[in-house]
Amino acid sequence: MIARPIPTGTHGRYLVLPPLEAPAFVVVGFHGYAETAETQFERLQMIPGSSHWLLVSIQGLHRFYRRRSDEVVASWMTRQDRDLAIADNLTYVSRVLDDVSREWPSAARMALVGFSQGVAMAYRAAVTASQPARGVIAVGGDIPPELDRWALGRIGAALAVRGRKDEWYTAEKQAADLKRLGAAGVPTESLTFDGGHEWNAEVARASGEFLRLNHLHGPQQQLRASG
């Protein structure tokens, strides 16, 4: 038996919410495993200042029903044909960002926000997008292994966030990410909060402060981490 991959077309979906005024800043969200674009969109809306930005939440291509439920959720990939899935996802995300850029050309500054499995996609999109990424907010997930220091060097700044009780995104993984970003010359902040593998009000506040200090209102300042 021989297993062979074959390309095919499919459709993805994304959510977008423009502010009342012409946006100068776009924040793009990537959800975690077995979540939806709506889930990440709600997280983006928790960030202070989000009502002034163009918000975009992209849903993973691989949809399925949540176990014992009729709820449709999605993931970004599995280990099967991983490299092909990465290429598919990057093409898909690039098309979304191109669509957004054409419709809202004033949104010339971009930050990407990932949670859990979506963190890897946020980093990948940041280093491959035609529009430079002013920053990446990574909550509960690590940098994918295939990105080298030269690729990571395209990121304007990064915030790596973990909960103290998070058993997946451990302190060791966060430290490794900070080391890789530092070696790439990326201005980087970290936050450790009292919680687990989650997004909460403290994460939202820290995200808003990071975006404000690094991308919306002038030069970079230090973000004080809790603990």
pLDDT score for 140: 98
What average pLDDT does the segment 28-48 reach? 98
d(CA 13, CA 10): 10
The separation between CA 165 and the C-alpha centre of its own chain, rounded to angstroms, equals 21
- Work out the number of other CB atoms within 10 angstroms of the CB of residue 158: 29
33 and 119 Cβ atoms separated by less than 8 Å: no
> Lowest mean pLDDT: which of 40-54, 57-71, 204-218?
204-218
Neighbouring residues of 125: CB distance < 8 A, sequence distance ≥ 6: 28, 30, 90, 93, 94, 97, 112, 133
pLDDT digits (tens, 9 = 90+) for 9-27: 999 999 999 998 999 999 9
pLDDT digits (tens, 9 = 90+) for 182-216: 999 999 999 999 999 999 999 999 999 999 987 55
pLDDT score for 131: 84
Confidence of residue 67 (pLDDT cuts 50, 70, 90): confident
Neighbouring residues of 32: CB distance < 8 A, sequence distance ≥ 6: 39, 40, 115, 116, 117, 118, 140, 141
Q: Give percent above pLDDT 90 in the chain.
A: 86
Domains of the chain and any CATH numbers: 14-216 (3.40.50.1820)
pLDDT score for 221: 36
d(CA 205, CA 6): 44
d(CA 50, CA 33): 24
3-state secondary structure string, the chain?
CCCCCCCCCCCCCEEEECCCCCCCEEEEEECCCCECHHHHHHHHHHCCCHHHCEEEEECCCEEEECCCCCCEEEECCCCCCHHHHHHHHHHHHHHHHHHHHHHCCCCCEEEEEEECHHHHHHHHHHHHCCCCEEEEEEECCCCCCCCCHHHHCCCCCEEEEEECCCCCCCHHHHHHHHHHHHHCCCCEEEEEECCCCCCCHHHHHHHHHHHHHHHHCCCCCCCCCCC
